[in-house]
Amino acid sequence: MRRTRTRIAVVLAGTAALATAIGLASTAQAATTLGASAADKGRYFGTAVANYKLSDATYSGILDREFNMITPENEMKWDATEPNQGQFSYGSADAIVAHANAHGQRMRGHALAWYSQQPGWAQNMSGTALRNAMVNHITNVAGHYKGKIYAWDVVNEAFADGGSGGRRDSNLQRTGNDWIEVAFQTARAADPGAKLCYNDYNTDGINAKSTGVYNMVKDFKSRGVPIDCVGFQSHINSGSPLTSDYQANLQRFADLGVDVQITELDIAYSGTQQASAYATVTKACLAVSRCTGITVWGIRDSDSWRSSDNPLLFDGNGNKKAAYTSTLDALNGGSTSSPPPVSTSPSRSTSPSPSTSPSNPGGGQGCTATTSVNQWQGGFVVTVRVTAGSTINGWTVGLALPSGATVTNSWNVTRSGNNWSNVSYNGHVNAGQYTEFGFQGTGTAGTLTPTCSGS
């Protein structure tokens, strides 16, 4: 007994020394949720959410445990947000945004301009009147959510199916071919901080339709039309199967200088075929450095817009399916069911587990800030937690990054140099409570020493 214990201790000590010697953390743990695991890779994992389901405890329990990005399934569409011309209705979309803020989730906005789910009054419009109505709609909706949206699907599904590679006919298209760039320019003016995406389906492999979109994005980049990202819906089924050029297609768009995102993933295969297709899509995103995240189009199979296909990661009772496990394993770069290897990714150079550092030893009124850093080869995500000592109504965190580190995007915060301050919805923090913001960057974050001052 004693001899065995000693031997185990020696082996463990040897392993730890080896891990330290080669510069790897000995405490590396594979993350156990989709969101945390994606965050370890500098990405998000999201889902579509229907506001009326948030009161379902199973639904919101899974949502808040697994997902750190939310797309309203219908609540931000034109028919929902402007049911009568000039009369805006934000109640259910605002409720989703409030839920996201309360649970540290970010928002994808969906969708500002689309041929479908238009209110009746817009469906009946054409020409200049419709063009002006579209501009007014985008200005109001993107303006209402200014500072609260990570990325907007500015234009949805504007290309035709089939081999033409051209635009889909619609009332918006008939206002003139420039309607898409006008939509993007209008969205940029309304919310300069949001990433602006073009989003479509059947563009998930290299084909005539995706090449049409590719040529538009290339043209926009060459002429300075503001576009930041392309969304690939990825509604995969036997009629629209996963093809072997999925990753290459993401990569060719990324090479144009835009982010790519998988925006509405569902896979209508069953059993191991489904599990393996989810893993393939996940690995493809991880392999493309500008693929910033994956969103599935619903939580349980019963929540799906195509529920008879059972295309999602959780069954109707909220249990994890094989597709869930294969997705999580792919995010973790291997198996999560057995003890994790010392390093979860060959490119990772430092600890994948969050490291926290205390802050604000002496100064500041009413709050403290701590940071949690996920660093990988060439990039990082920092999450900053602001904890209130006494109740505060605003805060500023002082946080300098080492030279060579560049912030590429941030959320739940406004930044002015080394000062990071609250936005409208997260300034008020009750005594003892906390709020979080974050940012992503390139380079090395190093050891951060934040200060906090509350007001």
434 near ligand XIL (CB under 6 A): no
Dihedral class, residue 86 (left if φ above 0, else alpha if ψ from -120 to 50, else beta): left
H-state helical runs in 74-126:
78-81, 91-102, 120-123
Q: Which of 264, 266, 301, 329 forms a contact with ligand XIL (CB under 6 A)? A: 264
Closest contact distance (angstroms) between CB of 299 and ligand XIL is 12
The four Cα atoms 196, 200, 206, 211 give a dihedral, to 10 degrees, of: -70
Decide the pairing of beta strands 259-267 and 235-236: parallel
Q: Which two tokens stand for residue 226?
A: 């503001």
Q: What part of residues 145-184 is at the interface with ligand XIL (CB under 6 A)?
A: 156
Q: How far, in Å, CA of 316 to CA of 141, rounded?
A: 34
Q: What part of residues 242-261 is at the interface with ligand XIL (CB under 6 A)?
A: none
Closest contact distance (angstroms) between CB of 269 and ligand XIL is 18
40 near ligand XIL (CB under 6 A): no
In angstroms, what CA-CA distances link 228 with 192, 261, 297, 432? 11, 11, 22, 38
309 near ligand XIL (CB under 6 A): no
115 near ligand XIL (CB under 6 A): no
Active-site choice (66, 82, 157, 181): 157
233 near ligand XIL (CB under 6 A): yes
301 near ligand XIL (CB under 6 A): no
> Is the peptide bond prior to 95 cis by the omega test (within 30 degrees of 0)?
no
37 near ligand XIL (CB under 6 A): no
* x/- map, 52-81, ligand XIL, by CB under 6 A: ---------------------xx-------
305 near ligand XIL (CB under 6 A): yes
Q: Name the residue among 402, 430, 400, 425 with its Cα closest to residue 415.
A: 400
234 near ligand XIL (CB under 6 A): no
* x/- map, 393-412, ligand XIL, by CB under 6 A: --------------------
Please identify, using beta-carbon distances, which residue of 233 and 453 lies nearer to ligand XIL.
233
Q: How far, in Å, CA of 42 to CA of 382, rounded?
A: 9
Tell me what percent of the chain is helix, strand and coil, each rounded to the nearest 5: 35, 25, 40
Largest Cα separation within the chain, whole Å, is: 86
Backbone torsions φ then ψ of 374, nearest 5 degrees: -110, 110
- Other beta carbons less than 10 A from residue 164's beta carbon: 12
Closest contact distance (angstroms) between CB of 112 and ligand XIL is 12
Annotated active-site residue 66? The verdict is no
204 near ligand XIL (CB under 6 A): no
Active-site choice (66, 82, 181, 264): 264
Please identify, using beta-carbon distances, which residue of 50 and 401 lies nearer to ligand XIL.
50
Annotated active-site residue 157? The verdict is yes
**Which residues are known catalytic residues?**
157, 264
Q: Which residues bind ligand XIL (CB under 6 A)?
A: 73-74, 156, 233, 264, 305
